[in-house]
Structure 1
Amino acid sequence: MNVYNGKSVFGGIAIGKIRVYKKNEHQVKRSKTENTEEEIRRFHGAIEEAKKQLGQLYEKALKEVGESSAAIFEVHQMMLEDDDFLESVENMIRTQKVNAEYAVAAAGDNFSAMFSAMDDEYMKERAADIKDISERLISILDGRSGQQTLTDEPAIIVADDLAPSETVQLDKKNVRSFVTVHGSVNSHTAILARTMGIPALIGTDLPLDEQIDGKMAVVDGNTGCIYVEPDEKTLRDMKQKLAEEQEKRELLLTLKNEKGITLDGKKILTYANIGDSKDLAAVLQNGAEGIGLFRSEFLYLEKDTYPTEEEQFRVYKTVAETMAGKRVIIRTLDIGADKQADYFQLKKEENPAMGYRAIRICLTRTEVFKTQLRALLRASVYGKLAVMYPMITSVKEVKKIKQIVEEVKEELKQEGLEFGDMEQGIMIETPAAAVISDLLAEEVDFFSIGTNDLTQYMLAIDRQNQELDEFFDAHHRAVLRLIYQTVQNAHRAGIWCGICGELGGDLALTQLFAAMGVDELSVSPGNILPVRKAIRETDTGKIREEQLKKWL
């Protein structure tokens, strides 16, 4: 038995044979050509074919993993139109008189190296996209299909890394786990694994050859280990764990129609975080009592221009109607930092996490903000819609937002358009907002604590920087104290307070949050029932005595 360690991106146990996937990369030969215009014509023909293939992949991904995960193929199509890349390839063909295959490979290597050298983690991820696009173009120019079946039977997929186009071609029912040598928690493989709810490891130092290909293995996503050719005891223990997990899942389904009420009678709402309307099926399947975070920025990230009022209205209306009177909280545009849309034409920033993003964009580009508010207000007629504003740091910002909302209402009145009366809340995700939460609570209807940004700002640690993983402590006492202070200030002002960040689904903290008085926990759809179970097993009085004083 050989044991290899990696970093888990999704927990659980998977047992099956390993299928080592190696990219179908061919050695590209450099050859001289006198007819450079013919090579350029071939290059542009390959681009058109690649766009067609990517369109088909987008449609497949849309059906299987939803709009937000499928959007990467729209990004790839846009990258195929990038002037810098096109000019680089064409210039190489003309000046060096080389074949199109070689020019694409060389330009792809150059651009990939350039992205890899950038400090920004989001931009580093684009290096893999460039390689994926280049390989697709070379395959087309070589007369190869560019498609490769990863597996036709249930297996654990092991690879150096997997590009979006490779993962979407998978027959999902045949994938028991992903294990990659490289990749990050933000890679497409990791995102897909979380969407599918299967164990996955990244950064796993294991050989990609016949030593493991076809061998029986066990992936333990809870500990970050993969056991290749496990001994009898390990296999027996892991089968037992897998059976227990399956039993737990079945038992959890009995809680689908139950409420999150503690042993001493405190009710805590269990809501869902979603990225688009395609996630609604999972929300309803897991018995969510509402939606605590609808990330509206995906409406912007998935397009190559600003979404219109009507486009936004239709999406918000659909979500409100589908949730049938349950609260739906939509976060206004949160573009910037690691989420970029080219048509916003945001300037390069040295420290984008603390730069021009979220509400700062909305308050300085009010025409964009007003378009979204109009769509939200109109859609609020069709259900219990609420809105919350991200990255707040001052009372002044909240007052300015409320003024703009009133202006939009007045415009709608004059146009004879019907609108509802939405709850308005803010995200507490900056230390400044947490510290003055007593003042902010007087201005809004609710708080939702965004623990991801709150933690990184409080600890001064970039949560996407893998080099700082050992220093990042999501359970840091300073963060928990700020959360507790925020909850208390909300209740003193007579408003409710929830958590919509990653910590909301951290079962190690569920009972502590209940004891703090948190009113709502919004988590990924798959975490709703485990969190609800933890709530129902909590005695808040006992936890207050045993844990609250220790932590705070």
Structure 2
Amino acid sequence: MLTLGHNDIMLGCRANDWHAALDQAAAALGEAGLVAPGYRDGLYDREAQSSTFLGNAIAIPHGTPESREHVKRTGVRVLQFPEGIEWHDGNRVHVLVTIAAQSDEHLDILRQLTHVLDREGVADKLAAADSRTAVASLLSKAPVEARLDADTLCLKFPARDHLELALAGAARLRQAGCVDATFVAAVAEQTPRALGQGLWFTSSTVGVNTPALSLATPETSLEGHQEPVQGVFCLAAQGDAHLGLLERLAALLDSGSGEALFNADVATVLARLSGESASAQTVRARVLNAHGLHARPAKQLVQVARQQTMPIKVRLLEGGGEAVSAASLTKVIGLGARRGQLLVFSAEGEGADAALEAVVGAVGEGLGEKVLPFEEGRDHTQDTPREIPLEPLPEDTPHQAVAASPGLAIGPVFVMRTPRFEYAERAEDAVHEKRRLERAIEAGIEQLEALVRSAPGGEVSEILSMHEEMLDDPELHQAAREGIEEGMSAEAAWWAAIDTAARAQEMLADRLLAERAADLRDVGRRVLGVLCGVELPTPPDEPYILVMDDVGPSDVAQLDTQKVRGLLTARGGATAHSAILARALGIPAVVGAGERVLGLENGVELILDGERGRVVPAPSLERRQRAELSLKERERLEREAYAARFEEGRTRDGHRVEVAANLGNTAHTADAVERGAEGVGLLRTEFIFMAHAQAPDLDTQVAEYRQAIEALDGRPLVARTLDVGGDKPLPYWPVPQEDNPFLGLRGIRLALTQPEVLETQFRALLTAAVGKPLRIMLPMVKDIAEFRAAKSIFDRLLAEIPENERATDVQLGVMIEVPSCALLAPSLAAEVDFFSIGTNDLTQYTLAIDRGHPELSAQADGLHPAVLRLIQMTVDAAHAQGKWVGVCGELGSDAQAVPVLVGLGVDELSVAARQIPLVKARLREFDLAEARRQAELALAQSTSEAVRDALERC
């Protein structure tokens, strides 16, 4: 749960607008020592990408991944604005939960706040709260729901009257651990009240541990004083947790269906009290997703439900929760369904069979994720290591994975295979097992304390300290003790507690693979190792590259950086704590390489490239020598590159190639110039539109663009017109839902549907750049017709605005992102002023690979010969008309690609500001003739792998 300290909450804040509120939030993080001043820009950049408004008057501002360098330590500051602020997306905000995140902790905060989003009145309560405790309680405490499940039902009990039934229900609640003996005594002193339809009711608040509702029904209908006795409800009341259940009970009685509970089985009783109609058809489906119904599969389920011709409800089979609409994303996520749990879908009316079949089929297929069959009994115990595939990685062949920590490493591998923990599931002596567990936890804490003392500080110490807090969590201890009391061994009970907690964290994870759950399991294995007496194998004394299934943070903290030259894992992502720590320790790392890397033999030599995310086992002598040379020259190159950052971009023989910066915000222009930018080759202007609740007016845009133009001090600015659409919509410019937004209404297509918006942007850019060089480019152009439509507006403005009030050194060009645009480059080149090639989109459209695809993204390589041929066609067409060509995609900073692009004739490379010194240095390493030879070599290959391999050999 989200825990807030007294000093984390600031009451009674005031701000005139969301900018001022965000500034206050940034200042609060700074005053708390959590961040450096630069983190403020990261907060603004995040809002420019998408609003952080959650709902119910809450926003969670947090920085971008690029701004994490300004985070000193992870923390949260909560600012209450009683009068409210209008957020830039038009919503009203009363509370900012502002996060300083060294990784992706904002996902955990989002998960923990999900319970707040659908609670009525929370916004008003947050605004009116007059104490820090009240705010913390509203944000941190998830609403408690009364328990109702098979264990609280007592059906067909041999009772003689309603008093015995009431006592039977109370006794069942005591057996379930919901109440103590005083509750049973309190119920015994009461006379149940008649509800009608043969149902009776009794309740008490005395001796309640957990709010719950029981129903006791007799074997045969009994005669009461007023009416027949067919069932007695016994309520253990606490606060308002039971209100939802009572509302559903009242609805059941209002419908005249109360008598249906008599002689009903457990499933029927739970179904009727969940709100399911007796006439509804129901089907069950087991959740197979590894992390349960988190955001992505839940969204898929909701989309399928919405496609049906009738409403569909869903509930968890376990418990007495309400059946909710399967078409509501927040309701579906709120179910908290974990892997292995059963969902009950219901629908009624003609066509219900087909509708239910559709949703059950979607669940069975994994809701857009790869899933494995559920094996009862195995999914809730610790996974044992699978057999290592016999097929080894091919020698002297690059193997692509995920870049996690930059650097190059060469050395023998040491494979640290996950230990196998073997233990009995059951044990008879609970007292002995509890003592064993306590000793193991104490030993684990002592180990972590020792690691914290010996750690190099910074992020390592912070994360290890967090592990220590996890290990000292009383809820984990209690869960394990309860398992032992149920007959489990210390090992089995401990791992069940860890696994349950980890799955709960994974439940709402996004595509970042729930890194915090990995921390919990890392902590759990530490204690399990003590209990089982399992020790990890001892690594060699000489330097090595460590290979593991997944490196836990405590594993990284124990690494001897003098010996460990690099890290390679079969699983994991670039945002995992292990990757963060590897970067903090300066250890090159490649992750997510697949299980085959675990089949490497100890001692096999490996080249690990943490920048490209590649490994090469058993490299040839020639490849190894090249890698060694690269390793020696790397540090020298970085130092020299930064020292020479203000030199013009030129090849060794003086051929001019301009090196500019890609920017997502005008505020970063001065920093780009300081890093040696010769201009801005791509200004993503959508940040201005995303930062406002309505389309920014002319004056607002002029002020933003002028900030960048002034910082450039005469250097050229290339501004891309508004590039939004189905994949990144604007709240005030709704776009119909599209099956594939990347191929839908976006870029120039969308802008031309509201030409007045495009005209205002043209006018603002022209006005802001008086006396300065300005280049404007249009995104997602597919052919000359779209360019001409936009140019007609542009030409009219040039004629309307006096020359002394607008830019005169101005050009209008297009981005080459769509293959058709490259194929038709000759017709375009005759009319445009320049081309800028967006290699990211051009690559994904050419290869039909979504660059964000979890499995295929590594294949979306801009050095594919098909992409290079499109670039060549573009350059040839432009140069034939005397026009220039730039590249503004990630390929422009790829060290292997730079000479190829220059050899193809590219005139400008626009890259991330941090890469500018290195790109200029790379240009100085070759001459134009050599670049042309490399371009010809690349074009002669048939795959991107062949291109990179050929370039490495040349």
TM-score category (smaller protein): 0.5 to 0.7
**CA–CA distance in structure 2, aligned partners of residues 362 and 408 of structure 1:** 17
Aligned to 1:76: 52
Cα distance in 2 for residues equivalent to 1:63 and 1:187: 29
Give the deviation of 1:528 after TM superposition: 0.8
How has the CA–CA distance of structure 1 residues 92 and 300 changed in structure 2, closer, same or farther, with 3 Å as cutoff? closer
Q: Which residue of 1 aligns with 2:381?
A: none
**C-alpha separation in 2, matches of 1:154 and 1:26:** 22
What's the offset of the Cα at 1:207? 3.3
Residue 370 of structure 1 is matched in structure 2 by: 759
Does 1:155 pair with 2:521? Answer: no
Please state how far the C-alpha of 1:112 moved relative to its aligned partner: 8.3
| Mean Cα deviation higher: 267-276 or 241-250 | 241-250
Matches within 5 A, 1:97-112: 101-103=141-143
Residues 75 and 389 (structure 1 numbering): CA distance in 2 closer, same or farther, change over 3 Å?
Answer: same
CA contact (8 A) 1:282 1:526 kept: no
Q: How does 1:331-346 map to 2 (within 5 A)?
A: 331-346=720-735
1:280 to 669, 680, 683: 669
Amino acid at match of 1:118: K
TM-score w.r.t. length of structure 2: 0.40
Residue 419, structure 1, aligned to residue 395, structure 2 = no
Give the secondary-structure state (helix, strand or coil) at the position aligned to 2:813.
strand
Residues 12-39 of structure 1: per-residue CA shift (max 9 Å, x gap) = xxxxxxxxxxxx6469xxxxxxxxxxxx
Matching of residue 521 in structure 1 with residue 909 in structure 2: yes
* Partner of residue 117, structure 1: 298
Name the stretch that deviates more: 282-291 or 490-499.
Answer: 282-291
Per the alignment, in what secondary structure is the counterpart of residue 646 of structure 2? coil
Q: Say if 1:430 and 1:453, in contact at 8 Å, map to a contact too.
A: yes
Contact 2:823 2:870 in 1 (8 A): yes
1:301 matches 2:685:
no
Asked if the contact 2:724–2:730 (Cα under 8 Å) also holds between the matched residues in 1, the reply is yes
Q: Which amino acid aligns with 2:696?
A: P
| Deviation, structure 1 residue 279 | 1.2
Distance, in Å, in 2 between the alignment partners of 1:186 and 1:500 is 30
Q: Distance in 2 between matches of 1:298 and 1:282?
A: 18
| 2:525 counterpart of 1:495 | no
- Looking at structure 1, the residues matched to 652 and 766 of structure 2 have their Cα atoms a distance apart, in angstroms, of 38
Mapped pair 1:448 → 2:836: yes
Q: Distance in 2 between matches of 1:204 and 1:244?
A: 31
**Which residue in 2 is equivalent to 1:405?**
794
Q: Does 1:508 align with 2:896?
A: yes
Which residue does 1:537 correspond to in 2?
Answer: 925
| Residues 36-69 of structure 1, C-alpha deviations (whole Å, 9 max, x = no match) | xxxxxxxxx99999x9986643566894146465
1:292 aligns with 2:681: yes
Q: CA deviation at 1:278?
A: 2.0
**Shift in Å at residue 300 of structure 1?**
1.3
Judged with a 3 Å threshold, the aligned counterparts in structure 2 of structure 1 residues 409 and 86 are, in CA distance, closer, same or farther, namely: farther
Q: Is the 8 A contact 2:850 2:857 kept in 1?
A: no
Structure 1 residue aligned with 2:590: 224
Paired with 1:241 and 1:432, the residues of 2 have a C-alpha distance of: 39
Change in CA separation of 1:204 and 1:212 when aligned onto 2, cut-off 3 Å: same
Matches within 5 A, 1:463-502: 463-502=851-890
Q: Deviations over 1:496-515 (max 9, x none)?
A: 00100110111111111111
Q: Using the TM superposition, give the Cα deviation of residue 485 of structure 1 relative to its aligned residue in structure 2, in angstroms.
A: 1.1
Change (3 A) 1:54 1:257: closer
Contact 1:381 1:420 in 2 (8 A): yes
Alignment-derived partner of residue 748 in structure 2:
359
- 1:395 matched to 2:784? The reply is yes
Task: State the identity as a percent.
Answer: 31
Whether contact under 8 Å (1:320, 1:382) holds in the other structure is: no
Could you say what secondary structure the match of 1:461 adopts? coil
8 Å contact 1:271–1:523 — kept in the other structure?
A: yes
Give unmatched runs, 5+ long, in structure 2.
5-10, 30-34, 58-90, 93-113, 124-136, 146-240, 242-291, 302-328, 335-454, 467-505, 517-547, 562-581, 593-605, 611-628, 941-954
The structure richer in helix per residue is 1
Mapped to 1, the partners of 2:825 and 2:855 lie a distance apart of 32
**Shift in Å, 1:290:** 0.9
Code of the aligned partner of 2:294: A
Q: CA deviation at 1:104?
A: 9.9
Taking the aligned partners of 2:23 and 2:837, their CA distance within structure 1 comes to 38
- Match of 1:117, SS state, is helix
Is 1:64 the counterpart of 2:38? The answer is yes
The CA distance in 2 between the partners of 1:460 and 1:339, in whole Å, is: 20
Which of 109, 119, 144 is 1:89 aligned to? 119
- Higher relative contact order, chain-length normalized (CA < 8 Å, sep 6+): 1
Distance in 2 between residues matched to 1:311 and 1:78, nearest whole Å:
26
| Cα deviation, residue 371, structure 1 | 1.2
Q: Tell me, what secondary structure is at the counterpart of 1:341?
A: coil
In 1, the alpha carbon distance for the partners of 2:515 and 2:775 equals 31
How far residue 458 of structure 1 moved from its aligned partner, in angstroms, is: 0.3
CA gap of 1:157–1:518, structure 2 versus 1, over 3 A, is farther
Measured against aligned partners, the alpha-carbon deviations of 1:264-305 in whole angstroms (never above 9, x if no partner) come to: 332111111111122123212211111100111111122222
Residue 647 of structure 2 aligns with an amino acid whose one-letter code is: E
Q: How far 1:255 moved relative to its partner?
A: 1.7
Report the counterpart of residue 737 of structure 2 in structure 1: 348
Amino acid at match of 1:456: Q
Deviation at 1:472, TM superposition (A): 2.6
Structure 2: which amino acid aligns with 1:419?
R
CA distance in structure 2 between the partners assigned to 1:380 and 1:251 by the alignment? 34
Residues 185 and 330 of structure 1: CA distance in aligned 2, closer, same or farther (over 3 Å):
farther
Residues 720, 778 of structure 2: 8 Å contact kept: yes
In the TM superposition, what whole-angstrom CA distance separates every residue of 1:55-111 from its partner, at most 9, and x where no partner exists? Answer: 643566894146465343682246444799977211999xxxxx96324999xxxx9
Per-residue deviation, 1:248: 3.2
Instruction: For residue 342 of structure 1, report the CA deviation from its aligned partner.
Output: 1.6
Aligned AA for 1:332?
T
- Cα gap change, 1:502 to 1:279, in 2 (>3 Å): same
2:817 aligns with one of 429, 433, 452: 429
Letter of the structure 2 residue corresponding to residue 430 of structure 1: V
Q: Secondary structure at the match of 1:386?
A: strand
* Cα separation, partners in 2 of 1:185 and 1:376, compared to 1, 3 Å: farther
Aligned residues: 434
Structure 2 CA distance for aligned equivalents of residues 509 and 448 of structure 1:
16
Partners of 2:675 and 2:914 within 8 A in 1: yes
Q: Secondary structure at the match of 1:75?
A: coil
Tell me the equivalent position of 2:73: none
Contact 2:902 2:932 in 1 (8 A): no
Quote the residue 2:775 is aligned against: 386
Q: Counterpart of 2:552?
A: 207
What is the deviation of 1:417? 7.9
> 2-side partners of 1:411 and 1:77: how far apart?
41
Alpha-carbon spacing, 1:373–1:296, altered in 2? closer, same or farther (3 Å) = same
Tell me the distance in 1 between the aligned counterparts of 2:23 and 2:708: 26
The alignment yields a C-alpha RMSD, in angstroms, of 4.6
Task: Give the TM-score of the pair, scaled to structure 1.
Answer: 0.67
Deviation at 1:393, TM superposition (A): 0.5
- Alpha carbons of structure 1 residues 75 and 317: separation in structure 2 relative to 1, 3 Å: same
Distance of aligned partners of 1:369 and 1:58 in 2 relative to their CA distance in 1, 3 Å threshold? farther
Query: Which 5+ residue runs of structure 1 have no aligned equivalent?
Result: 1-23, 28-44, 94-98, 121-125, 132-150, 163-180, 190-202, 227-233
Equivalent AA in structure 2 for residue 510 of structure 1: V
Q: 1:533/1:352 Cα in 2 relative to 1: closer, same or farther (>3 Å)?
A: same
In the superposition, relative to structure 1, how do residues 53 and 252 fare at CA in structure 2: closer, same or farther (>3 Å)? same
Cα deviation for residue 346 of structure 1 reads 2.0
Query: Per the alignment, do residues 525 and 211 of structure 1 end up closer, same or farther by CA in structure 2, a change over 3 Å counting?
Result: closer
